[in-house]
């Protein structure tokens, strides 16, 4: 079950994973981006986790709003903004809930992805983080009846496959779009960050 404690554990797991992969994400982003991806993901999720630890709130929606605000302030990048959209979309679904089962979390994640698509005017297939997030979220929803561990294990695999698929795509958003066909054959750094996000959540899900 997702609650205040397991939400904090999930953010801690993500923060640790992003810190461990900071240099890797930087190297990916240097090929066709600003090179700050690893920095923003490390510092953003560290700030989000810190905001949660300082809160005595039990409402999951309110906790996610706090995390989103802290994340966006600490990660002033395009992906930082995009992921804060996702957290805010999730917060709207989870507002008023102090606990959530896997099905409700799937609904919240779906709302988060929809918020990204709405605010960023982006869709899967455009060589962005959505190519990892969208299949992962769909996997959570499909496997929710099996519980958190199974749902997020499936999501992690879906996110990895989604990130890998960006090698064959042409970027249409952000700085990567300037590289045109030169970016084909390169995995998208944002999608890899999305994959790492769900890898960490899968590790944390056994505690829910």
Rounded-to-integer distance, Cα 103 and Cα 96, Å: 16
Rounded-to-integer distance, Cα 63 and Cα 188, Å: 30
Q: What is the dihedral of CA 165, 170, 172, 176, to 10 degrees?
A: 90
Whether pLDDT at 118 is above 50: yes
Position 130 scores a pLDDT of 97
Closest CA to 122 of 159, 84, 79, 172: 172
Instruction: Provide mean pLDDT across the span 17-23.
Output: 98
- Each residue's pLDDT tens digit, 133-152: 999 999 999 999 999 999 99
Domain ranges of the chain: 4-205
Buried b (16+ CB within 10 A) or exposed e, 81-92: bbbbbbbbbbbe
Query: Per-residue confidence at 59, pLDDT binned at 50, 70, 90?
Result: very high
Q: Does the predicted TM-score (pTM) go above 0.75?
A: yes
- For residue 32 the two structure tokens come to 């066709």
Query: Per-residue confidence at 96, pLDDT binned at 50, 70, 90?
Result: very high
CATH class of 4-205: mainly alpha
Rounded-to-integer distance, Cα 37 and Cα 34, Å: 7
């Amino acid at each position: 079950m997702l609650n205040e404690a397991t939400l904090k554990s999930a953010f801690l797991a993500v923060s640790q994973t992003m810190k461990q992969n900071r240099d890797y994400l930087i190297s990916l982003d240097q090929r066709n981006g600003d090179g700050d991806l690893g920095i923003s993901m490390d510092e953003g999720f560290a700030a989000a986790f810190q905001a949660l630890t300082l809160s005595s709130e039990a409402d999951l929606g309110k906790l996610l709003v706090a995390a989103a605000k802290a994340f966006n302030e600490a990660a002033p990048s395009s992906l930082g903004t995009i992921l804060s959209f996702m957290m805010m979309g999730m917060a709207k679904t989870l507002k008023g809930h102090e606990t959530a089962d896997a099905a409700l979390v799937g609904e919240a994640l779906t709302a988060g992805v929809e918020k990204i698509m709405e605010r960023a005017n982006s869709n899967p297939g455009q060589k962005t983080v959505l190519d990892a997030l969208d299949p992962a979220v769909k996997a959570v929803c499909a496997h929710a009846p099996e519980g958190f561990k199974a749902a997020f294990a499936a999501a992690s695999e879906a996110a990895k496959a989604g990130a890998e698929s960006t090698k064959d795509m042409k970027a249409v958003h952000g700085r990567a779009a300037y590289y045109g066909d030169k970016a084909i054959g390169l995995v998208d750094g944002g999608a890899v960050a999305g994959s790492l996000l769900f890898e960490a959540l899968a590790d944390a899900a056994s505690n829910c």
